[in-house]
Amino acid sequence: MDRRKFITTVGLGVSAGFLSTGNAFAIMAGNDMRQLFVNPPDSARPGCYWWWFNGLVSKEGLTRDLEEFRDKGIGNVLLVNSAGGLGGVQMPLGAKFLSDEWKELFKHAIREAKRLNIDVGVNLCSGWAMGGPWITPEVAGRWVLQSEITVVGPQQFSAALPLPGNRSGYDHVFNPPGFKDYIDLPLEKLDYRDTAVVAFPSSTKIDGERAKLIPAKTNRKDASNFIRQKDLMEPVLDYWETSPSDKPVPVAKVIDLTAKMRADGHLEWEVPAGSWTIVRTGHRMTGSRLMIAQPEADGLSVGWLSSEGVDIQFEHLGKVLLELAGSVKGNTLRYFCDDSFEDGFPNWTAKILEKFSFYRGYDARPYLPVIAGYIITSAEVSDRFLHDYRKTVADCMADGHYKRFAELCHEHGLKVQNESAGPSRSGTMCMDGLKNLGRSDQPMGEFWLGLRHDEPGGLDDNLGYGVSRLENGQNKVTKMAASAGHIYGKKIIPAESFTTMRHWNDYPGNLKQAADRAYCEGINRLVIHTSTSTRPEDGKPGYEYGAGTHFNPNVTWWDKSGGFLSYMARCQHLLQEGMFVADVLYYNGDWAPNIVMPKHIDPSLGFGYDYDVCNEEVLLTRLAVKNGRLVLPDGMSYRLLVLPETVRMPVAVVTRLKQLVLEGATIVGPKPSMDPGLKDYPSCDTTVSRIAAEVWGNCDGADVTSHKYGKGRVFWNKPLRDILMLDGVAPDFSHDSPYAFIDFIHRSTDEGEVYFLANRNNRIEKLACQFRASGKPEIWDPVSGETRGAAFSIAGGRVSVPMEFEAFQSFFVVFPKRSSSLKAEPFPSFAPVQEIKGAWKVKFDTAWGGPASVEFPSLQDWTKRPETGIKYYSGTAIYVKEITVAATGRLFLDLGVVKNIASLKLNGKSLGIVWTAPWRVEITSAVKPGTNLLEIEVVNLWPNRLIGDAALPAEQRLTRTNIPFKSDAPLLSSGLLGPVTINQYL
């Protein structure tokens, strides 16, 4: 293709308003993947949380929302009903939840969504996480409680055993939602119930540093959702060792007295000679309730470790919604949702002993005193029991709640989407995050915006999580959600996106970086948090939620949001295609709690290789070997399986590893020598050691670092990168700049190899990128939908592509399997030929306090103007100027600095929306000799008008909202700041 020729095709269904034509690439018709990239299917569109606050919605407002969603590019909504706005002033009340009025509104929304082809999911409660007035104490969340008493025999004991304290063992609870309302309730208000009573010869409890680990090991440690993965998991992996001062109780000396205690707690027991300790174990409801639920729908949260609560929830709410949806259930109404787990740290259920026996294969009763700190048999044995207890809690959560929820949804033709692995509140909830997520059809993550995310240094690693909302530059749980999707065979991996406590400070141009970060972590559907439904008569910006990027038709820049939404749809279409490419599969161990670290570069692996993380369930039931690669039934494959740095591994896992290596797998990690659990102890340790000796042979990780076994190999203490390089496996992606941060993710499809690259720095980067791929590369721009052939060279079996990125810019580099007509072109370069200086006529909207028209002698920040109507203006202003263009050839208009989004017309011809770098648009087709009329619409954000209104009496204010602003808050830079230049394409 002649690089002087530029083809713009809008006949493929892309609105010109969605195009940024600031790149000299071409939109080409071609194969399906290319066409669908230009004009993505509805399934690729992003979604949003659609909040209905206090039922304060109307049919008119609902229709407006859905029509606007459809028009701008939102393809699915997650409906959340709640009270209030979490942080704002009190809001008026609308339709009560599940009232006849509310039901009519719901049916109207479903009908309109069907008409507009928008998919709907519903959060299955008012507020979150799950519960309601129908949840009774016995099926609510539970905490284990214990009391103890010492008696001396021989005697006939006939008395009531002491009840546990109402918060015995929970001395440092500080974070579960609403805990102050229930933590200190008297026991008679907490539905106390017994589990078991045992007695044993009196002894001492575990002591020293080991005792400090009891809260974590017994699931009674609290923490915020800021807790890091290593801080959560390391305490439970600090194994107890025997101390000379220990006075263990032989397990055979533990007597089960449960049958001898009446329902009222009265015990009849003929006490043998000696001093005996009686431990009464039971449980109370935690008392945790829903967050910001409407009063008529408020109630206790379900018990997360059993299925009874979710069954009741589905009966009282799920079936009602299904009946209201009628024939569109499974069609327009696609799924039910369980929002993020924020319900403290329930650790017990009425059937815990039955579940323990089912999952672990032995009776827990004799070991219950360990929860109170006593040593049964030995410190090591006691620690193994606690390991098994924690795993049982995690299994109960995964199966009793999330699996059962999925079964109920599937029985009624719906899918299920859960934010089931955090960031949790409490952060110490004893869960297997991957297993929880794997129970969902659409395993969901979550990411927030930092408080200063768009400021220089606002995401620095030295800032706390509460400021940056990142861990070492990455989101907390999105890599875990992505891994769960990959290892459990789930195509759609959504994330609650852009959650923040900033109000109207964000816009497409500063949201893109966060979106790209999530895409590179493996998320392939952004669900924008949040889009509040408001009634038109409630004004603008309207009632809003206190924690979420405000993204609805009331934001100032809504009419120009289509470009950003199209960007997301193009990215998501390609990122939902084919399979994720990863060389390494990390096994995250068999313990609980079990959470995956944020995305990071393993020093042993280095940059350029990607990975997934798996759990015990996937390793045992889904992982196989084919042609030397580890494979999953849905198509994922890996070259290496990397084990955790521990010598403890269950017999079942070691046995499976043996089979995998025999069949040709390569595994990397230390030789295991013992089972972490108590079943079949001590013979289980002998079995682990015997199998490991076969598989690892003489590999000791020191003198010998590898061993062949069957068709496969094991390595120990050999860098992963060295292993891959020895096998001839170069990095999947690399570049030649020591300073650039180019993030990536790779998908392999039937039509080609697809790499997404994102510049994580706020600066221009020019570098050569290398790919482990073959064929002729193409560069696809998701901002514009434009594609071009890429210049490239081949060296060492790798394709090298010279690339240039604007600040935070991203591209897809695609290696199609079928050749196209696109020819290789270098990145475009430009030379400034004219700066547009002098005065501009600027028109404001008088309805929002601005002057009808004013002359700016030069480009100036609105907040620096003397007129209060401009200084505090929020909305759209139109810059008008007549210009004479002397240059010829292909010309582009560069806007310089824009606060915050713009669209352009030249001589009446629309040139599209400019919302991100590069802030330029081609004007070749619109420019003419002589005088040209240039019009630039610029939109800023709501805070300036809200700050100005804060100083006015209520009756003089132009804005209406529940989110208060202070009159002395700093104003946001606004307007077209430039410099505006005409650049010639070289």
pLDDT in tens, 966-978: 999 999 999 999 9
Mean pLDDT confidence for 338-348: 94
User: In a 3-state reduction of DSSP, which class is residue 387?
Assistant: helix
Cα(666)–Cα(119) distance, integer angstroms? 43
346 confidence band (pLDDT: 50, 70, 90):
very high
CB atoms within 10 A of CB 510: 18
32 confidence band (pLDDT: 50, 70, 90):
confident
CA of 619: how far to CAs of 585, 590, 625, in Å?
10, 10, 11
Would you state the pLDDT for residue 84?
A: 83
Topology (CATH) of 733-826: Immunoglobulin-like (2.60.40)
Q: Within the chain, which residue ranges are assigned CATH 2.60.40.1180?
A: 733-826
Stated pTM of the model: 0.96
Would you state the pLDDT for residue 397?
A: 98
CATH architecture of 831-985: Sandwich (2.60)
The pair of three-digit structure tokens given for residue 599, joined into one six-digit string: 């995305």
Strand partners, 856: 840
646 vs 3, residue with greater confidence? 646
Give me the half-sphere count of Cα atoms (radius 13 Å) on the Cβ side of residue 109: 29
The pair of three-digit structure tokens given for residue 689, joined into one six-digit string: 């050691």
Sign, Cα dihedral of 630, 631, 632, 638 = positive
Would you state the pLDDT for residue 589?
A: 97
What residue type is 43 in one-letter code?
A: S
Cα(23)–Cα(714) distance, integer angstroms? 50
User: In a 3-state reduction of DSSP, which class is residue 296?
Assistant: helix
Cα(262)–Cα(197) distance, integer angstroms? 11
Mean pLDDT confidence for 600-623: 98
| 426 Rama sector, left if φ>0, alpha if ψ -120 to 50, beta otherwise | beta
Rounded (10°) angle between helices 683-696 and 651-662: 20
Per-residue pLDDT for 79 more than 70? yes
φ/ψ (deg, to 5) at 634: -90, 0
> Residue with structure tokens 């590179």?
520
Per-residue pLDDT for 23 more than 70? no
Write the DSSP symbol of residue 308: H
Per-residue pLDDT for 28 more than 80? no
Write the DSSP symbol of residue 872: T
Q: Within the chain, which residue ranges are assigned CATH 2.60.120.260?
A: 831-985
The pair of three-digit structure tokens given for residue 304, joined into one six-digit string: 């997360």
Write the DSSP symbol of residue 181: G
Mean pLDDT confidence for 399-426: 96
Q: Are 338 and 446 in contact (CB under 8 A)?
A: no
Q: How do 584-587 and 611-614 pair as beta strands?
A: parallel
φ/ψ (deg, to 5) at 589: 90, 175
> Residue with structure tokens 């940024």?
20
Would you state the pLDDT for residue 90?
A: 79
Cα(298)–Cα(132) distance, integer angstroms? 5
Mean pLDDT confidence for 433-441: 98
User: Where is 67: in which H helix or E strand?
Assistant: helix 59-72
Per-residue pLDDT for 1 more than 80? no
φ/ψ (deg, to 5) at 740: -75, 150
Closest C-alpha among 398, 414, 394 to residue 314: 414
Per-residue pLDDT for 167 more than 70? yes
Q: How do 787-790 and 840-843 pair as beta strands?
A: unpaired
User: In a 3-state reduction of DSSP, which class is residue 459?
Assistant: coil
Mean pLDDT confidence for 353-382: 98
Q: Are 384 and 390 in contact (CB under 8 A)?
A: no
Strand partners, 336: 122, 416
Write the DSSP symbol of residue 566: H
Write the DSSP symbol of residue 416: E
Strand partners, 799: 771, 794
821 confidence band (pLDDT: 50, 70, 90):
confident
Closest C-alpha among 467, 402, 473, 480 to residue 441: 402
394 confidence band (pLDDT: 50, 70, 90):
very high
Q: Note every long-range contact of 949-952, with CB atoms under 8 Å and residues 24 or more positions apart, other chains counting.
A: 949/872
Mean pLDDT confidence for 847-874: 98
